[in-house]
Chain A
Amino acid sequence: MELANIEILIKKYLKAETSLQEETTLKNYFTGGNVPPHLQEYEYLFQYFVNAKQDTFTQTISLKPKKSSKNSLKWFSVAASILLLISVFIGKQEYEKYQAKKIYAQVSKGLKLLSTNLKKGEEAVANLYVYEDSVKKIIK
């Protein structure tokens, strides 16, 4: 292919007006070596296109739904949220138990205080009785 023709094709190529056939011509020219320096960039370009087409899908095709890691991640997050819910629930219960215990302790402490004070009062009243008895004896 003459260089002049190639240059015409290149102009068309940049305007996206080339046919597939013309593009194949360009591809063959630029990947065949002997590219003039001022068209060097096209050598890279077309070589890249040729290379890119050689990339193939090498995995075996499976027609069964595969358990992707994303799926398991989803289930893991579901499990984690359930776990969190349960732990919050149990934690709340435990906290309420603890709170009840605290209140019980406070109330029983108060009652004990009350009972000891009452006892003191009772003793004082008992003394009063003794006093009254002795007064009666004397008056008799």
Chain B
Amino acid sequence: MKASDFLNIVLPFKDKVFRLSKRLLVSREEAEDATQELIFKLWKNRDKIAGYKNVEAFAMTMTKNYCYDRLKSKQANNLTLIHSNYKENETALDKKLEFKDSVHQVHQLIENLPAQQKMIIQLRDVEQYEFDEISKMLDMKPTAIRVALSRARKTIREALIKKHNYGVS
């Protein structure tokens, strides 16, 4: 496989890999490193991936495993601590401050979810994958994914309502 062919396969989902790593590793730098590392790993196994039907799902599974490993290692733990109050810069800057704040709150709320729910929210609500695809990526049953997703959505919604009402009164 030539480098150009490889890039043609990888480029469509590199942002998804990056966003999932960022969701799990929190800091942008860590996620960038992880993405580079993962793409390099795929490149090393380029002969194998030629045989895969769904490279994207495979890459997402790899991303999940890699990020879990990073989180387990001590180095990454230090990094997450440093970046725990990391600000999301990309929220719509042109909107009103209050609206921006509330949208940013969603980021924080997802941050507080368990890792598995975080990933499911990321894959479903942000990346819009089908449940079948997510179940392959995370090696979970679709029903379990639905349960976790429902729980995550309800948690976020309740927290948002709570914060919003608190802000008003």
B15 pairs with A57, CB closer than 8 A: yes
Q: Which residue of chain A has the shortest Cβ distance to B23 in the bound complex?
A: A52
Interface check A129, CB cutoff 8 A: no
Name the A residues within 8 Å of B127 (CB-CB).
Answer: 53
Name the A residues within 8 Å of B113 (CB-CB).
Answer: none
Q: B15 is contacted by which of A23, A42, A56 (Cβ under 8 Å)? A: A56
Count of chain B residues near A, Cβ 8 A: 47
Count of chain A residues near B, Cβ 8 A: 32
Q: Interface residues of B: mostly helix, strand, loop or mixed? A: helix
Q: B75 is contacted by which of A42, A45, A70 (Cβ under 8 Å)? A: A70
**What mask results when residues 18 to 50 of chain A are scored 1 for a CB within 8 Å of chain B, else 0?**
001001100000000000000011101101110
Known: A23-B128, A54-B90, A55-B90. A41 touches B10 (CB 8 A): no
**Chain B residues within CB distance 8 Å of chain A:** 3, 6-7, 10-11, 14-15, 17-19, 22, 32-33, 35-36, 39-40, 43, 75, 90-92, 99, 102-107, 122, 125-128, 130, 145-147, 149-150, 153-154, 156-157, 160-161, 164
Q: State in angstroms the CA–CA spacing of A15 and B157 once bound together.
A: 12
Name the A residues within 8 Å of B92 (CB-CB).
Answer: 47, 51
Q: B18 is contacted by which of A17, A57, A62 (Cβ under 8 Å)? A: A57
Interface check A14, CB cutoff 8 A: yes
Give, as a whole number of angstroms, the nearest-CB distance from B79 to chain A. 11
B18 pairs with A55, CB closer than 8 A: yes
